[in-house]
Amino acid sequence: MGQALQVPLKSCPGLQLAVANEDRVPSSGFHQAVDMTIGGEQFSVDCFELELGGYDMVLGVQWLGTLGPILWDFTRQTMCFSREGRQVIWTGSNGLLHPSAFALSPMCQEFMTELL
């Protein structure tokens, strides 16, 4: 990842990260403050080095927590949150979550208003 992004790796010998099934996997370190754009939204993210198989990146709980309250609808594969006074919705396709920029459904709007 770091070579492709040309972002220096901060080495952390012995670093292990907890993954979803509670296993711990080794990591050689992390890339600090990587600037990225997801669905037109810009973020600065610390990225840990992991072997991810066919995935380029996994958004971790630590980072997701920075978004504040999130409304998930796993049936519709949507994720709604508020950012800088705007509402953002990301939608899934074929089991993967894809960011997109369009208005929230009335249900999402109402629920987000209650959350915030």
Domain residue limits at 29:
1-63
Q: Do 13 and 35 have their domain in common?
A: yes
Q: Do 2 and 58 have their domain in common?
A: yes
Q: Do 106 and 56 have their domain in common?
A: no
Q: Do 57 and 3 have their domain in common?
A: yes
Q: Do 91 and 59 have their domain in common?
A: no
pLDDT digits 0-9 by tens, 64-103: 999 999 999 888 888 999 998 889 988 876 655 555 443 4
Domain count for the chain, please give it.
2
Q: Do 72 and 55 have their domain in common?
A: no
Mean pLDDT confidence for 16-39: 87
Count of CB atoms within 10 A of residue 81's CB? Answer: 21
Q: Do 89 and 57 have their domain in common?
A: no
Percent of the chain with pLDDT over 90: 18
Enumerate residues 6+ apart whose C-beta is below 8 A from 55: none
Q: Which residue has the higher pLDDT, 43 or 98?
A: 43
Pairing of strands 10-11, 86-93: unpaired
Q: Do 53 and 34 have their domain in common?
A: yes
